[in-house]
Chains A and B, each alone.
Chain A
Amino acid sequence: MNCSETKELLSAFLDGELSHELREGVRRHAQECASCGEELALFSAIAVLAKQLPHPVAPPDIWPRLSQELEAATPRSRTAWLMRDARRTYSIVGLLAAAVLLLTGIMLWSNRRMHSEHSGEAGRFAQFARSFPDDPESAQQLLLASYESRAVGKEELSNSAYYTATAASQPPDGYAFQQAYAMKMACCECSQVVLRRQSGGHVAIFEHGAVEHPDWMSGLRCTNMQCGTTRCEVAQTGEYLAVSCHVADRHFTIVGANSKSEVEALVAWLQAAGSSARGDKSREVS
């Protein structure tokens, strides 16, 4: 793919509107080409900023004013009774319309929540989960740009979140530690570790400090899956899986798993790592 072809596809790439092949083509070109790469970074910085714009709410007097307008807009008729009738018809239609609007408003809202364009955190997470497996670098950049976040070194990690720390020092079999991050999200100050699969590709594991179930997966269509003793919520993101589960007293979200068996293996690892991590912790304390 050359520059002009790529430049034409940059928006569609950013908006997730491309087929897998075209996506790959753009990604490869943008990685090699400084000009296209820079333009993509700018586009995505603008997208991040736009997502943070406030949502002004309609002033409360808009409905009373609207019903006055409706009255005024009622067609005039010569005779009083006709006019009354016309008015009544108009306002019944108006009422019905208002009821429909109210209902659809609510439906749109819940629909939106499902697709989560507007429930900030879940929306961002769904976007991240969809784009991370194919393009971990840009997905990660966009995520980090959305929150107060920083890369965390192994040293600091060992004093904070203990599973991520274990992942850094003893990653699960078949994976290498790549990088860990801390970010302030609505749910908590989460930590994230990115693991490199030895057979290729990346997996991201988020660890939440809060015991409460984060709202992250509400933007994705989830099914349940049992991994040993742990019940997981699993969502398909393209050809990959995103998983949310609760192990011991922590909450985890896994992104970019390539199969159910990988999910099972990672959850089993989390369960095992928990005990060794707690062991490390208590040793540190004593």
Chain B
Amino acid sequence: MLCADRVYRHMVRMVGVQHAADVTQQVFLRVFEKINTFRGLARFETWLFRLAANEAYQYLRREKRWKHRPLELEPADQRSSHTDSEESKQLLEDAIGQLDVELRSIFLLREVEGLSYQEIAEVLKVPEGTVASRLNRARRELRTLLSDLGWELPQ
């Protein structure tokens, strides 16, 4: 997994698939500009996601488009047992797209990028306690959005 792919998939869900490549490029232009301010290999991931988060916020503020068309998944495969889960995944993409942008980014950093609370705290420059409470809000919000979209909890 190259960093470009990780930034790209983050952007697909942050700003929408139509603009993800452009914003990813912006992030890497920033990386090239600021690479000399980067210290310590261990923190590269958080440093990169910090630039990415800033770029996404700036883009969204500029465009005043806080919500975007969600990622459309490939049509479900033929195996019928998978159809339900394909539908559920699409519902989750839709719900993520409707989530408040702050909650959206924290949810993606945790659930898709697998960052720890400490790493997320570094990326977003907030205390770890705030990470925990925002994740609670994100998940509650998603639960409401998902149930509005007709999602049913799997058995």
Chain A residues engaging chain B, CB cutoff 8 angstroms = 7-12, 15, 17, 39, 41-43, 45-47, 49-59, 62-63, 65-66, 69-70, 73, 93-94, 96-98, 100-102, 104-109, 112, 115, 117-118, 123, 145, 148
Contact = CB atoms under 8 A, between A and B. Distances in A.
Nearest to B22: A65
B124 interface: no
Contact of B133 (A8, A46, A49, A55): A8
Interface in B61-97: 71, 73-74, 81, 85, 88-89, 92-93
A73 B29 contact: yes
Given A11-B136, A62-B8, A104 B32 contact: no
Contact of A43 (B7, B17, B73, B139): B139
Given A15-B117, A62-B21, A108 B3 contact: yes
Contact of A101 (B3, B24, B88, B92): B3
A57 B3 CA distance: 10
A51 B92 CA distance: 11
A58 B8 contact: yes
B89 A58 contact: no
B149 interface: no
B56 interface: no
Contact of A17 (B116, B140, B153): B116
Contacts of A8: 132-133, 136
A135 B98 CA distance: 33
B143 interface: yes
B25 interface: yes
Given A62-B24, A66-B29, A108-B44, A11 B135 contact: yes
Contacts of A97: 31-32, 35
A115 B119 CA distance: 14
B135 A62 contact: no
Interface in B13-32: 17, 20-21, 24-25, 28-29, 31-32
Interface in B32-54: 32, 35-36, 41, 44-45
Given A94-B32, A105-B1, A118-B1, A58 B24 contact: yes
Main secondary structure of the interface of B (DSSP, over half): helix
Contacts of B85: 49, 52
Interface of B: 1-9, 12, 17, 20-21, 24-25, 28-29, 31-32, 35-36, 41, 44-45, 71, 73-74, 81, 85, 88-89, 92-93, 107, 110-114, 116-117, 132-133, 135-136, 139-140, 142-143, 146, 153-154
A109 B112 CA distance: 14
Specify which of A57, A63, A73, A118 lies most central, judged by the most chain B CB atoms within 10 Å of its CB.
A57
A286 B136 CA distance: 59
B112 A50 contact: yes
Contacts of B143: 39, 42-43, 46
Contacts of B17: 56
Nearest to A148: B81
A62 B2 contact: no
A153 B74 CA distance: 37
B154 A57 contact: no
A49 B2 contact: no
The 4 closest A-B pairs by CB, nearest first: A117-B114, A58-B8, A50-B111, A11-B135
10 contacts: A12-B132, A15-B110, A17-B132, A41-B153, A47-B111, A58-B8, A98-B32, A101-B28, A105-B2, A112-B1
Given A45-B153, A52-B85, A70-B29, A17 B44 contact: no
